[in-house]
Structure 1
Amino acid sequence: MLTLLAFGALAAVASAANSWIVPGAAWMSTSNTKIDAHGGMVLKRGDTFYWVGQAASHSVQPYMYTSKNLLDWTPCTNPQNPIQWLWRPKLAKPNGSFWIYGQVDRNVQALKSSSISDNYAVAGSKVTLPPNAYTYSDTGMFADDDGTWYLLTSADHNNVQINKINSDGSIGTRVNVLAKGAYEAPGMFKVGGIYYLIVSGKTGWRSNPNQMFWTDKLAGGSWNGPYPIAPEAQKTYNSQNTFELTVVGSKKTTYVYMGDSWDSKGGPDSNYVWLPMSVDTGTKKVTLDYHAQWKLNAETGEVVLPSRKRRYEAEHAVVEGRGVVGRCERCLNRRGVHAADPSAQVTFHNIIGLGGPQWVQFHYHVANRTSGEAHISVNDAPAVNISAMNHRAGYHHVVPVLLDLKSGGENRIVFGVSGEAGVVLEGIEVVED
């Protein structure tokens, strides 16, 4: 009987190698532990990026990581404070200190430190936001060009409200509110004098089509929208918004959507979806640019895609069981292996590896992802569900996973299915840069 492993047993598959941002895939820290910073944000200070978020595996405490390149993240001394159940923490610097604001018992709780990455202390009591003393759910953060910080919350019966943060760190007056539906997970960025607000619908831990609103006046301005940021059926590529990061490079300014790809309970199996955004300043539309694998040059601001890949077609592999090579209109070469049931197996021999962890892109189509899924085995290791390594499995036709390949051309990868999902395998591409 075939045994399929969950992510926690994947140590033998590959260790950390963060040469790319891979939406939906498990993201490992430089300590080879899974990054645990959900519902958070990234703040740049000098040449260092600081990523704060809630640790799903540690009682929702505030955890922080640092990076120079937005790829390799090193854990700080965590937690930043022993407080528990601090949801969606966000960083701000309204004065000489650093502040973390998050939700505790549906109220705002602030933490304060003289250092950005450690020794945060509770700063004052929990604050209930007006109006009508109605508690809130999600937290967002925005810093305007003049250095003023704003706290974004889903409050007042799920309207999104925006409050100024005073120079002493206290929560100030409400300057705007979005009252056009039940929204949460707010994030905001500014381009060409226009404020773009991205929000999620309220569907629990299940993803939904996030929406964008815009205004040309933050204090008291009216909101235009909603407008989609991705195809509706994609449900924001199976993610929920948490923050919009602006990276100003020497050649280009790039806007990055930061989203959480939640598991069914918002727990430790949750991953991340980060994608660059295109902003049409004429029509005032924001679009997520989906890439299965990409990275951002933190110095130039340019988006980079893999340029060296070695492709292996499924039709040239060894096909066994109820696997049939046939026509596939959606496939690159118009041919693929149709896996009819769990007896189907496709074996790729003589895969060339560099030696060590390496990204391998699986190109396959799924007719019904609720009826089964795909799994792989590398060099006779136990089979692993692809979805355990990348939440985009079954949702997108290109799914990169990190595998441990031997140096040279003696690697063997076996692709199989469980259930009757209607899988058609095009092939695999081994990324070499």
Structure 2
Amino acid sequence: MSRLAAYCCLAWLLLLRPGNVSGAITPGAVWLDNRGQQIQAHGGGILKVGDTFFWFGEDRTQGLDPNKRYVSCYASKDLEHWTFRDQVLKLSDPENFGPGWLIERPKVFYNAATKKYVLYAHVDDGTYKLARVGIAISDTVDGNYRYLKSFRPLGLESRDIGQFIDDDGTAYLIFESRPTKGFVIARLSPDYLNVEKQMSLVPAPLEGGAVVHYKGLYYVIGSHLTGWSPNPNVYATATSLEGPWTEFKNIAPPALKTYNSQSSTLLRIIGTKTTSVIFMADQWKPKELWDSRYLWMPLQIDGGQLLLPEPRPWTIDINTGEAKY
């Protein structure tokens, strides 16, 4: 069997795996929360508060009110075991977006000045022509978020969004702007309720944008525009968020289509011994969105090179930062 065929078989077996290996994070497995229910945090992001990680994402549970859209929140101290906190956003159509309106890829920032938690999400009508971000706020990380408004950041179309918080605490929104044939990295306003300044237009027609700062370089990852279908995700680097960015390279063998996943977030874990960067992605099932899975893997990253290894069960020590298979 060729190496490529072996990779394909492994990826398929992981998709069929019924559940997490005990004591490990298993990419593509059914991931259960403390209630024994499948985690619903699709297109999600992570916010760390103290020693606790909060995972926000789209709740696609079967049987929910079809007139509402839901964002769920889970909490964990080890990134493996997750406790359901609440559906922090349960929203009826807030601005008459119309049939099929949607909320996608929610991300939450904490604003230390206002002491508010600010949720950003892609909001749209059923035809994806509205192309806005929506904002909701809460006094607590897992509280009930109150919807405020929607707008096009910097007057640009915005569909898939990502978040990035730099080492100095500055918060940035990443958003796909199709007419510009690229995606934008933009600084948030001091209160996080607006998008203040474009830092960079990443010159490639990509979505699913995510950024991490690692050893003096900014790494950006994106997914090609193929809708729900997976594709070879790519990365570029720069010494500044303002660029210039290098040419894009594949993060994994292109024939494997990022192991049937699409990028969502890059999570950096700084430990006492090392720093790990985790690739967080979704394995979408468009006809059964409730059963879409998650592919989380520690990246091989250094010196401007980045590689997503073949998926397999792994663990991470949050204190030391060490990831092991």
Sort the TM-score into its range (normalised by shorter chain). Answer: 0.7 to 0.9
Question: Which residue does 1:312 correspond to in 2?
Answer: none
Q: How many angstroms apart in 1 are the aligned matches of 2:150 and 2:291?
A: 30
Asked whether the equivalents of residues 258 and 272 of structure 1 are also in contact (C-alpha less than 8 Å), the reply is: yes
Deviations 1:88-121 (A, max 9, x none): 0011123321111001112111111111111211
**2:104 corresponds to which of 77, 84, 87:** 87
Q: How many angstroms apart in 2 are the aligned matches of 1:197 and 1:238?
A: 19
Given the superposition, is the C-alpha separation of residues 126 and 62 from structure 1 closer, same or farther in structure 2, using an over 3 Å criterion?
Answer: same
SS in 1 for 2:221: strand
**1:176 corresponds to which of 200, 207, 214:** 200
**1:200 corresponds to which of 202, 223, 234:** 223
Deviations 1:217-258 (A, max 9, x none): 11x321112011111111111100000000111222110000
Give me the CA root mean square deviation.
Answer: 2.0
Question: Which residue does 1:108 correspond to in 2?
Answer: 133
Q: How many angstroms apart in 1 are the aligned matches of 2:92 and 2:234?
A: 32
Asked whether the equivalents of residues 21 and 313 of structure 2 are also in contact (C-alpha less than 8 Å), the reply is: no
Kindly report which structure 2 residues correspond to 1:10-409, keeping only aligned pairs within 5 A, or say none. 19-57=23-61, 58=64, 60-82=69-91, 85-95=102-112, 96-105=115-124, 106-123=131-148, 125-130=149-154, 133-157=155-179, 158-169=181-192, 170-180=194-204, 182-218=205-241, 220-265=242-287, 267-281=289-303, 284-305=304-325
Deviations 1:188-227 (A, max 9, x none): 0001221100000011111100000111111x32111201
Opposite residue 175 of structure 1, the aligned amino acid is M
SS in 1 for 2:142: coil
Opposite residue 29 of structure 2, the aligned amino acid is A
SS in 2 for 1:163: strand
SS in 2 for 1:235: helix
Q: CA deviation at 1:51?
A: 0.4
Q: CA deviation at 1:81?
A: 4.0
Asked whether the equivalents of residues 259 and 274 of structure 1 are also in contact (C-alpha less than 8 Å), the reply is: yes
Q: How many angstroms apart in 2 are the aligned matches of 1:174 and 1:303?
A: 34
Opposite residue 173 of structure 1, the aligned amino acid is K
Q: CA deviation at 1:31?
A: 0.6
Opposite residue 91 of structure 1, the aligned amino acid is V
Given the superposition, is the C-alpha separation of residues 168 and 141 from structure 1 closer, same or farther in structure 2, using an over 3 Å criterion?
Answer: same
Q: How many angstroms apart in 1 are the aligned matches of 2:215 and 2:135?
A: 31
Given the superposition, is the C-alpha separation of residues 18 and 72 from structure 1 closer, same or farther in structure 2, using an over 3 Å criterion?
Answer: farther
**TM-score, normalising length: structure 1:** 0.63
Q: CA deviation at 1:17?
A: 7.2
Q: CA deviation at 1:146?
A: 1.0
Deviations 1:343-367 (A, max 9, x none): xxxxxxxxxxxxxxxxxxxxxxxxx
Consecutive unaligned residues of structure 2, counting only runs of 5 or more, are 1-16, 94-101, 125-130
Asked whether the equivalents of residues 86 and 142 of structure 2 are also in contact (C-alpha less than 8 Å), the reply is: yes
Q: How many angstroms apart in 1 are the aligned matches of 2:21 and 2:27?
A: 15
Question: Which residue does 2:9 correspond to in 1?
Answer: none
Consecutive unaligned residues of structure 1, counting only runs of 5 or more, are 1-12, 306-433
Greater share of helix: 2
